[in-house]
Structure 1
Amino acid sequence: MIEIREESGHSLFIEMSFQGTLLSTGTAFVVHTTKGPHLITNRHNVTGRHQETGEALSSTLGIPDSITITHHQKNAVGSFVKKTQPLLIDNQNVWVEHPTLKDGADFVAIKLSDVSGVDTVPIKISKEPTKARLAPSDVVSVIGFPFSLKASGGFAVWSSGFIASEPEINYNNLPVLLIDCRSRQGQSGSPVFLYRTSGSVQMRNGSAVMFTEPYSEFIGIYSGRIHKDSDIGMVWKSIAIRELISFIENPASWQTQITTTFTSTNIPLITPRPIW
């Protein structure tokens, strides 16, 4: 019997096109909400524009109007099925942005319009920070499709990197941490995991827990390198994605809610924060 890590199944290959012409490829994953399954990926993947400069990413200068997702076929591990859906309806974007950061956040959610015959393999995103205590130099896994490369069929490629900034401090006053990883085009939108096959994991409550089986926690979504000549890349934290999901499920609650996710001052250094 072939053993496949669940994390390998979370990452989905996506293709962005304009009027049937392929413009770019990337990575995405699915989350389940009370409003139905949603695809999470980078905003720049669906806009076709650089997140900071607004310049077109495709050499054709085309802007995508549809997205094709390579899903897992239901009840058929190792088989895949493609589903295409529009990115614009009546000239309006179909994606949902973070309720407070809006277009300043390089991740969006798209409600899946057709999941017939599909196994979505969703990522469960906790409302709390990671249980494990993250620190600079910790190894993390970026699971996606560099240069459209697939491990086999539609399965993603694992890239390893290291946390390169203090996880409790927000990079550039955004819910972002930095990693040092040799990522490449096509990995934008990849889920990032703390993954250990076994051994000891330091927890936030100060304990060290021994595991004889794999230990995995979702950290966030990878959005690309800070500079083309650097291997330092950005990961939007899981708690910010959780806020987007909460907004989708109950948008009215965000009219008066004040988020504190992005405050980088008055953070206790080194001392772990208990979450239980």
Structure 2
Amino acid sequence: MMSAQFQIHAESFRSVLIEMVYCENGADIDTTAGQDYKSMAHGSAFVYRLDGKDRLITARHNVTGRHWQTHEFMGGYHIEPTHLRVMFFKDPPEKWVVTLSEDDPRRGGIQVLLQQYLVPLIGPDWKPIWNQHPQLGGEMDVAEVPFNPPADVVCMSWERTGDRSGPEQASWPAQLFPGEDVFIIGYPYRLTSGPAFPLWIRGTVASNPIFPYYSDGKAYPLWLIDARTRKGQSGAPVMRHRPPGTLVFRNDGQPARMPVPDSDLLGVYSGRTSDESDLGFVWGMDHVDEICRNGVPGTIDPDPSARSCAVGEELTTSNLEPQERSVRP
């Protein structure tokens, strides 16, 4: 067998496949037993760093099980989930064992160790420990889940694009316009690339982000994207991307080509306007930052047939219980 080398974009490490699960014992569960929870649905999330702190960002309806406009339970849910099941790479790519077949150079093998965790959405009192927007509340379909990434796994965070004021730098345009290409980095139908990487779904900006989205007489601070998105991508990051070789203009006005990949985080994807439409919702990062800095405890719309949750305490890393497994694509 021969060793092989390959490259993977950092953006693919920043999205997280999540599984919404319900544990009958609430936050007090032995996650290593693997039998006391019920799978409800799958979605996407990403680790976001702001002001030096990491957290999980996803669609609010993933943590409530309810449609953000109708407040009704969505398919797969009859009660709110109690945990998010997440998965990270145990080792960085340079430690992966990749081999090529001596008989066929087009074929190879890779063995990767993945580590899974149950991230609580509720505290011991069954009240939510995730946060929502301080003013919009349930009118914004984004949630922040407190999360301290374990130190012994590969966990890469998204951060907002920093200042690029140098004359030889190429800053991103301040405004986003209709017709521009963007990417949704998530997991449609729980599909993955390779061992556990997300799919990059291309879309175009459909509405001007400076204007709100109007529905049933209400204005929402979101913009629309035209893309072939499907179930499982809600909660995924939306970005614009410049691959190596892309022609850009530097701040000094001189043309140049990108020497390395470059991405700009734009917002959170949270589903389509209807099952028949390819138009989807994107919530901008300015409002996500407001949740991270000044968010309030999540609320659940009351339903007499289900156990509801309310305010809770902050999560610490000690609440995370690991499960390891080996994956061979």
User: How high is the sequence identity, in percent, across the aligned residues?
Assistant: 31
Q: CA deviation at 1:169?
A: 1.8
1:139 aligns to 2:144 (yes or no): no
Contact 1:127–1:242, Cα closer than 8 Å, also in 2: no
Residue 243 of structure 1, aligned match among 290, 297, 322: 290
Look up the equivalent residue of 1:218 and give its one-letter code: L
1:21 aligns to 2:38 (yes or no): yes
Deviation readout 1:7-43 (Å, 9 max, x if unpaired): 1111100000112110000000012245742100000
Q: Aligned equivalents of 1:243 and 1:95: distance in 2? A: 14
Q: Which 5+ residue runs of structure 1 have no aligned equivalent?
A: 249-276
Instruction: Describe how 1:209-228 pairs up with structure 2 within 5 A.
Output: 210-213=256-259, 214-228=261-275
Q: CA deviation at 1:66?
A: 1.1
Q: Aligned equivalents of 1:104 and 1:202: distance in 2? A: 39
Contact 2:242–2:258, Cα closer than 8 Å, also in 1: no
Q: Report the equivalent of 1:151.
A: 193
TM-aligned CA distance change 1:30 to 1:229, over 3 Å = same
- Give secondary structure in 2 for the equivalent of 1:239: helix
TM-aligned CA distance change 1:138 to 1:114, over 3 Å = closer
Q: Aligned equivalents of 1:220 and 1:208: distance in 2? A: 30
- Give secondary structure in 2 for the equivalent of 1:240: helix
Q: Report the equivalent of 1:229.
A: 276
Question: Normalising to structure 2: TM-score of the pair?
Answer: 0.69
Residue 199 of structure 1, aligned match among 246, 255, 259: 246
Residue 8 of structure 1, aligned match among 4, 12, 15: 12
TM-aligned CA distance change 1:194 to 1:60, over 3 Å = closer
Instruction: Describe how 1:171-182 pairs up with structure 2 within 5 A.
Output: 171-172=213-214, 173-182=219-228
Aligned length: 247
Contact 1:189–1:222, Cα closer than 8 Å, also in 2: yes
Q: Report the equivalent of 1:251.
A: none
Question: Normalising to structure 1: TM-score of the pair?
Answer: 0.81
Q: Aligned equivalents of 2:131 and 2:38: distance in 1? A: 24
Larger mean Cα displacement after TM superposition, 171-180 or 46-55: 171-180
Q: Report the equivalent of 2:209.
A: 167
Q: CA deviation at 1:208?
A: 8.2
Q: Aligned equivalents of 1:105 and 1:189: distance in 2? A: 12
Q: Report the equivalent of 2:313.
A: none
Higher relative contact order (CA 8 A, sep 6+): 2
Deviation readout 1:34-69 (Å, 9 max, x if unpaired): 574210000000101111111111345232111111
Contact 1:11–1:156, Cα closer than 8 Å, also in 2: yes
| Alignment root-mean-square deviation, CA | 2.6
- Give secondary structure in 1 for the equivalent of 2:132: coil
Q: Aligned equivalents of 2:257 and 2:265: distance in 1? A: 17
